[in-house]
Every structure is written in C-alpha cells, then in structure tokens.
C-alpha cells in the first residue's frame, strides 16, 4: 500500500488587494493555510476532490502552507487561487525551484 503524509510551503505575491479564493484538489485529504489562517479544509478519504475558501489580502507576499495524506489508491495534489491578480480565473501555484533534498534523520508521528 501507498500510505504517506506530506507537507508543502511557499509564498504567493499579491499585487492587487481584494478577496482571493484558494483551492486544493487532492486525493486523499488536504488542508491549506494562508497567513497562518486555515482557508481550505479538504480532509478525509476521497478520490480527487476540490475544496475552496476565501481570504482578503492586501498587496504583499504571503506564506502558504499545505498538509495532506494519501491512503492507498491514486494520489494527487494541486493548489490554485483566483482573485483581482488573476482576473477571476483560477491559476495553479507552481514551484519555480524545488527545495534541496535533505535526508530525514528523525521522523515524528502524531495521531489525530
């Protein structure tokens, strides 16, 4: 079986203030935070599913964090956002440069 958890973090630069919608599409569960506030809850066991939430942002750069898990079957994850900067169209957040690989020496686990 392919069972694992994952975590992703990055930034998004906002050029025009206003209401922005952030979405995760995942198989299985995922959650997304902007500015430390949970915006999307797409938790649970499910096939590819999209869930969205809104946040009001000013011009600037914001930290975006996501976590999720996979339990058997297919696996998929993407983040998109829309708002004044995108003309209302959904735009996928993509990595410009992958972070360097670091071998994990210690693993942490939690239940709940």
Domains of the chain, residue spans = 3-84
Name residues whose C-beta falls within 8 Å of residue 29's C-beta, 6 or more positions apart in sequence.
42, 43, 44, 45, 46, 68, 69
pLDDT at 102 over 80: no
Do residues 89 and 82 touch, judged by C-beta distance below 8 A?
Answer: yes
Per-residue CA distances from 29 to 16, 24, 97 (Å): 31, 9, 25
Instruction: Read off the pTM.
Output: 0.82
Predicted local distance difference test score (pLDDT) of residue 76: 86
* Reported confidence tier of residue 73, pLDDT bands at 50, 70, 90: confident
Can you read off the two tokens belonging to residue 64? 């975006």
pLDDT in tens, 4-43: 888 988 999 999 999 999 999 998 899 999 999 999 999 9
Q: Given pLDDT bands bounded at 50, 70 and 90, which one contains residue 2?
A: confident
Query: What is the structure's pLDDT at 17?
Result: 97
In the chain, pLDDT over 90 holds for what percent of residues? 59
Structure tokens at 104: 């994990």
Classify domain 3-84 by CATH architecture.
Sandwich (2.60)
Residue among 52, 53, 57 nearest 19 (CA) = 57
Grade residue 52 by pLDDT with cuts at 50, 70 and 90: very high
Instruction: Determine the number of helices (DSSP H) and then strands (DSSP E) in the chain.
Output: 0, 8
Helix, strand, coil % in the chain, rounded to nearest 5: 5, 55, 40
């Amino acid at each position: 079986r392919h069972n694992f958890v994952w975590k992703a973090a990055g930034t998004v630069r906002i050029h025009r203030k206003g209401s922005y919608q952030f979405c995760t599409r995942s198989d299985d569960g995922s959650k997304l935070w902007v500015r430390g506030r949970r915006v999307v809850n797409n938790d649970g066991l499910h096939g590819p599913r999209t869930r969205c939430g809104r946040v009001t942002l000013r011009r600037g750069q914001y930290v975006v964090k996501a976590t999720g898990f996979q339990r058997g079957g297919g696996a998929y994850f993407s983040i998109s956002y829309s708002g004044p900067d995108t003309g209302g169209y959904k735009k996928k957040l993509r990595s410009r440069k992958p972070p360097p690989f670091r071998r994990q020496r210690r693993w942490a686990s939690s239940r709940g």
